[in-house]
Amino acid sequence: MPRRSTLFLAAIPTALVAAYAVWILAGRYDPLAEEYVSTGLMLLLCLAATILGLRVVLQRDGHPRLRLGWLLIVAALISYATAEAIWFVEETLSGLSPFPSWADLFYLLFYPLLIAGVACMPYAPVSRVRRIALWLDLGIVFCVGLMFFWFFLLEPIQTSHADAATAFLAIAYPLADLLLLAALVWMVERDLEAGRRGMLLLLAGSLLLSLLPDSLFAYFEVHGLAHEAPRLNLIWLVSVLLIVFAAAWQSLVQPRRAAWSEVRLGPLGRWMRFILPILAIGIGYGLLVAIVYRMPTAPAGVVGVAQLGLALTLLVMARQFLAIHEATRLYEVARGQAIRDSLTGAFNRRFFDEVLDREVEHAHRYTQPLSVIVLDLNGFKAFNDKYGHPAGDEVLREVAHSLTGSVRSADVVARYGGR
């Protein structure tokens, strides 16, 4: 598919969704016309994302796990489009209540397929400690999500005596949202090759946007509240539009060689490591205080202990945050000293050997050329003997500074000799 066709498949849905947003936010839409327009737009977005996703799947030089991941995402989009069609037929054309219906089966199938596609992406390998930390963070996310699930949905379902089908679906959608949130954490705390990070962020944005309308819809249905469906439809449309962007991004950058970068936890991932435990404990104690205040006969001592417990927890979390921040700063300093040459500031030989092995493997995998340039300073020993080692050290620093400022950000400048 030519580059122009890829841009066309991304630009046309974007313009239509923008026009739909203006129409809805202006508040002058006809409800029946909106149902036709929103359904048609969603089907168009799913079609565009499917075509672009299949483009990635059919790229023979693509990574096998990347192709498998996009194949599962395409299957998720087909399932979502099927659900939209069933919902439209039952609600608009037949005048029946589409909740619950067969559409919910395909909506719910969308979640595991999308999550499986995200999990199949070729993430960079991580250390054993990082893997353990990742699973602990996922456990934190599940516990916090289940707190909200129990407080806002499960208890109202029990007290409202809703029918079994409605209750099941009201539970299933928030649980699916919880899985989406876990997939989002998984994506943020792991890493792809540099050329695919844009695709990763777009998919993460799609998952994050899906959480809001899904959770609101479940909350409104459980509590029997009226809601404005077009605004929720707008958020769903934008979330699928981001999948279109992700597929277009991957189609455009796949032929290019990914820029080198060391496998590290990015800034967003590091901040999540800081904030996630603190935020989780704060939410847990906040819900505990809310439950205590909802008790009609809560003793004053219980209320006071709950308030002081929350205050103490916030103070301890603030202190822990400062400790973690300082430890991270010291780690970055030590790490920089371990991979840098102390004299020139360029990378050292040990780090160069690691990067070279990785780049050779990358070149073999994608059948792309790899260049290594080795420089030697002629007459450097004579210069040292004549002007002294301090002057020779200054020459080395100037040469390293000149090389570092002359190469691309994807290149690596290292001192092969020295310490």
Joined together, the tokens standing for residue 394 give 């200054």
Which is higher by pLDDT, 243 or 297? 243
**What would the pLDDT profile of 56-75 be if each residue is shown by its tens digit?**
888 776 778 888 988 999 99
263 confidence band (pLDDT: 50, 70, 90): very low
Residues of the chain with pLDDT > 70, as a percent, come to 75
Which residues are CB-neighbours of 237 under 8 A, at least 6 positions away?
17, 20, 38, 41, 42, 45
Tokens 């943020």 locate to 188
Average pLDDT over residues 149-168: 61
User: What pLDDT, on a 0 to 100 scale, did the predictor assign at position 179?
Assistant: 77
Q: 223 vs 204, which has greater pLDDT?
A: 204
Sign of CA dihedral 342, 346, 347, 349: negative
d(CA 177, CA 144): 12
Cα–Cα dist 244/78, whole Å: 13
Q: Please say if the pLDDT value at position 2 is more than 70.
A: no
pLDDT number for residue 191: 58
Residue 98: band (very low, low, confident or very high) from pLDDT cuts 50, 70, 90: low
Query: Which comes out higher in pLDDT, residue 204 or 255?
Result: 204
Backbone torsions φ then ψ of 340, nearest 5 degrees: -110, 145
Distance CA 207, CA 277 (A): 21
- How many CA atoms lie less than 13 Å away from 19 in the CB half-sphere? 10
Q: Quick one: pLDDT at residue 367?
A: 74
Lowest mean pLDDT among 178-187, 262-271, 282-291, 405-414: 262-271
Of 55, 111, 105, 115, the C-alpha closest to 85 is 105
205-252 pLDDT per residue, tens: 887 788 778 777 777 766 667 777 888 889 989 999 999 998 888 877
Residue 78 has pLDDT above 90, yes or no: yes
pLDDT attached to residue 17: 92
What's the rounded mean pLDDT across residues 352-368? Answer: 79
Q: Quote the pLDDT of residue 49.
A: 92
Q: 250 near 70, Cβ under 8 Å?
A: yes
Look at residue 74 in the predicted model and tell me its pLDDT.
Answer: 94
